[in-house]
Structure 1
């Protein structure tokens, strides 16, 4: 178990039940928001530019699914539910992330924290960055400052990508997407577009920084009291918990995904960094708790984060 069982889940900013496309926003993949989502979608090895329709620039046929409703699913009430159900774990992790970053972002950077929205969807969803299907995996759209999750991905994270089934592996994914929101608030998210591929690219540096920000959340999540002076959201993290998070980071490294797809490792096509880099930058944030340790854009050696020296 990870969450304190008695914590109360607050579903503020969460919508659930979305599924049909209907009349969606029109945004080409090369648009400002669209390209960011393409880069983030590749977190899961999905090549959205290769003739797929996982994220489309136009309208799609209406699909099965329920209209989005405000609030978390009705069964998500406490930390015990978050420890049992994947969708509740996403909502509780989002609540923890908001609590941590609402304190740490202004404290460490002087920037005001604004909560992102969260949408739990099934199969397909409309976003301000275009229409997306579950093939994209969890993603963040900067145009509407919303993180989107189809929780069926978490099973795929284990079965397809070989990550641990531990809860912090899933929470790492949520925290990574939150990292992109922090980049949006700090004005850095656009760097991924200017230099979208390659081992030293802006895209890779953007993704590794999001991993580092995920580590910062993990550093504080079992220490910082929840609002109202209650217990921290998470029970004290164990070495096993951290190994679970690292297993997820390892599973979605560009080099590992290329090998698992039967292709040779080609760093020039990387968008997210190697498995080793992703693990190291998560650890850099986790060991330091400092935003200053996550400056991937100034790093001379992405294999040697300053937070681990």
Structure 2
């Protein structure tokens, strides 16, 4: 178990239900098509253009699922785990972002959906995996994806593998707050592209959360959100990072690797930038945009 059992889950930690499409969108075709689609968005930013698509008004939506009350529930149920991870991320970044960057933290919305959903960046189905929409500042999760991460992509199913995914999406929100997220769209493909650097930085920001979440007391509590992370916990997160590297996904889909089509970085790079955040806890160490060698982050040399 990862979370301290006595942690109380806020009833507004996530939003559940709300606007949806009532079924899966017909995106991609077959397993290979799905994997190729996921290359473009997995753990990323919804590519819909807010300037060309009208924002979708929010419909009726519930808060945190009623069965999610404590850290013990987060250790048992995946939707509760997303909720408490989001709550932990908000607490850590509310403390660390102004301290390290002089920027005030504003909470994103975390939306749980099933099958498909409408967003201010357009429509999306579960096939695209988790994503963050800058236009509405919402991170979207269909929790069935976490089993796909194990079954289709070969990740560990450990709790920190799932929590890493949530932390990565909130990492995109940090980029949005800092004004960096647009760099992904301006330079969208290639091993040194802005898109890859943006994704690797979000991995690094996920590592920053992991660094602080088992040390910093939760607001109003005398203990951190997470129990001390073990080597196995960290391996679980690294397994998820490795599973969604561009090289690994391309190899599974086509039998070859084409770095010029990369949008997220290699398995090795994703692991190393997560470790950079985890070992340092510092935003400054996550400057992927200035890195001369993405395979060798300065903080790990």
The reply to whether TM is greater than 0.5 is: yes
Please list every run of 5 or more consecutive structure 1 residues that lacks an aligned counterpart in the other structure: 23-37, 50-55, 60-66
Which residue of 167, 171, 174 corresponds with 1:175? 167
Q: Which residue in the other structure is 2:204 paired with?
A: 212
CA RMSD between the two structures: 2.4
CA distance in 1 between counterparts of 2:39 and 2:285 reads: 22
What's the CA shift for 1:203?
0.1
The 3-state SS of whatever aligns with 1:82 is helix
Provide structure 2 residue ranges, at least 5 long, that are not aligned to the other structure: 23-36
Deviates more, 1:279-288 or 1:3-12: 3-12
Aligned counterparts of 1:263 and 1:48: Cα–Cα separation in 2 = 26
* Structure 2 counterpart SS, 1:179: helix
Q: Tell whether 2:297 aligns with 1:308.
A: no
SS across alignment from 2:66: coil
Deviations 1:258-308 (A, max 9, x none): 011133100000000000000000000000000010000000000010121
2:63 aligned with 1:42: no
Structure 1 residue 228: Cα displacement:
1.0
Is 1:98–2:97 an aligned residue pair?
A: no
Q: 1:124 to 1:273 in 2, by over 3 A?
A: same
Shift of 1:230: 2.8
Q: Which moved more, 1:221-230 or 1:266-275?
A: 221-230
Partners of 1:292 and 1:304 in 2: how far apart? 16
Residues 191-240 of structure 1 show CA distances to partners (whole Å, capped at 9, x for unaligned) of: 00110000000000000000000000000000010011331000000000
Q: 2:244 aligns with which of 252, 266, 269?
A: 252
- Of 193, 197, 202, the residue aligned with 2:189 is 197
Shift of 1:120: 0.3
Q: Secondary structure at the match of 2:118?
A: strand
Query: Does the Cα contact within 8 Å between 1:73 and 1:88 map onto a contact in 2?
Result: yes
Corresponding residue for residue 29 of structure 2? none
Dislocated runs of 4+, deviation >4 Å:
38-41, 56-59
On the 8 A contact 2:41/2:131 being kept in 1, the answer is no
Instruction: Report the Cα distance in structure 2 between the residues aligned to 1:302 and 1:18, rounded to whole angstroms.
Output: 39
